[in-house]
Chains A and B, each alone.
Chain A
Amino acid sequence: MNCQRFDGWTALWVEGDLDVRKQALVEEHLASCARCTELAGQLRASQQTLRALRQEIVEPGQLEAIRAGVLRGLSTQEPVRRQWLGWVFGGRRAWRYASLATLFALATGSAVWWMSVAPSPRQEIVRETPSVVLPLAPSDSVAQALSGVEGVAERAKDVSSLARGAQRESGGLPVRQADVSDSTIAAAADEIDEEPDTHD
């Protein structure tokens, strides 16, 4: 294999960045190649110098100035808007347009839905017109009501028979219902009330 093809791998090998297979290949090559061994040594020295940049002294005053600038900026900026408001009004231009389009679509959809669901004025008038509601009564109630009607009819018969009796008593003169005295009717009603109620 050409030595120069190992250069890239050697540059990685000096910092342990190769996988096991390539590492073995490089080490095998280095064992028999003075040029690549020298290159590896120079790379190590170069890397050591580069790493020394990490230890450079940064003046504390510079860092303090940076922090002070940040805090000054944070204390003077307006309060952070809520996230969704930030997307709508303060985000990137594309996000802003997308958010506004979404809001417009939602508003339009809501309006269309409301118009299709909400009643028209004519429907409102019809709805307000009173209607007779006939509740569906249970069969027991119907039977009770019918028996009540029968009772009234029987009482009417009793009143008319009392009227005929009074006519007989008066010598055959026709007696109108108005001529029957109140006491006669009250007596008849008392008689009727004393009869047992058979409909309960």
Chain B
Amino acid sequence: MTTETGAAGAAELGLILMSRAAGDANTADADLVRLIKLSRAGDLTAFEQIMRLHDRRVFRTALRLLRRIEDAEDASQEVFLRVHKHLDRFNEAGQFSAWVYRITVNVCRDINRKRSKGLALSLDAFFADGGSSEPASQQPDPLDQASQTEDVRLAAVALRRLPEKERAAVVLRDIEGLSTSEVAGILGSSETTVRSQVSRARLKLKKWRDELNRSRT
């Protein structure tokens, strides 16, 4: 893998960055396509730009699906390594971000399968500890600590209780703000299945949120 950037590639990359700085949203897709082409040619600078465009979403999604920050970091790196490895397979007619989300969900699924059982947060233990502790096997989630409101922190904790498929559906639909059809495409499910999962997850989250609030008062 070459790390050198050709003069033409560097000039093109400079134009792309300038157009992004200028906030030209209409050229965003074309810029992404150009970045992908440069990355395919071995330009790591272009690939770094692609990562910058997607790393926040990838990390956030991985953190919500995996619940541990170390796992989320590992997963994010694995996601981008896979993205780079399979850039040739990406169909430019498709949506790049949806493709990245799909890889993220698959990587998190693989990590969850490998991970030993028993890491799921016990809500009983959470209630017994006054709703302020993390399980012994998990480090505190800095994102939760940084949350401005207690409600948001409770929502993050409740989210961890959801079964894997429901959690994935609600993270993509409600937190990442994707449409039901996009979520269905990413998860490889039908829209009906996604609606069902999202509906159950919302009701559970609402119920747990109420319980957590009651336990704190």
A residues with CB within 8 A of B: 7-9, 11-12, 14-15, 17, 39, 42-43, 46-47, 49-54, 56-59, 62-63, 65-67, 69-71, 73-75, 77, 79-80, 83
Contacts and interface: CB of A to CB of B under 8 A. Distances in A.
Given A8-B203, A46-B205, A66-B77, A52 B55 contact: no
Interface string B51-66: 1100110011000100
7 shortest interchain CB distances as A-B pairs = A11-B202, A46-B206, A70-B80, A49-B155, A11-B199, A8-B199, A49-B151
Interface string B179-211: 010000000000000011011101101100110
Given A66-B59, A67-B55, A70-B80, A56 B143 contact: yes
21 contacts: A8-B199, A11-B198, A11-B203, A12-B202, A15-B202, A17-B198, A43-B203, A46-B202, A47-B202, A51-B175, A51-B177, A53-B64, A57-B146, A58-B56, A58-B59, A65-B73, A66-B51, A66-B73, A70-B77, A74-B84, A80-B85
B110 interface: no
Contact of B206 (A42, A51, A52): A42
Given A49-B209, A52-B147, A75-B3, 10 more contacts: A17-B180, A42-B206, A46-B209, A53-B152, A58-B56, A63-B56, A65-B73, A74-B47, A80-B85, A83-B88
Contacts of A42: 206, 210
Contacts of A67: 48, 51-52, 55, 80
Contacts of A47: 174, 202
B88 A73 contact: no
Given A46-B209, A53-B155, A62 B203 contact: no
A50 B56 contact: no
Contacts of B209: 46, 49
B143 A58 contact: yes
B73 A62 contact: yes
B164 interface: no
Contacts of B44: 71, 74-75
A50 B175 contact: yes
B71 to A, nearest CB: 12
A53 B88 contact: no
A70 B78 CA distance: 8
B108 interface: no
Contacts of B174: 15, 47, 50-51
Nearest to A13: B199
Contacts of A8: 196, 199-200, 203
A56 B1 contact: no
B151 to A, nearest CB: 5
Contact of B48 (A49, A53, A71): A71
Contact of A63 (B59, B147, B151, B196): B59
Contacts of B80: 66-67, 70
A12 B146 CA distance: 30
A74 B152 CA distance: 37
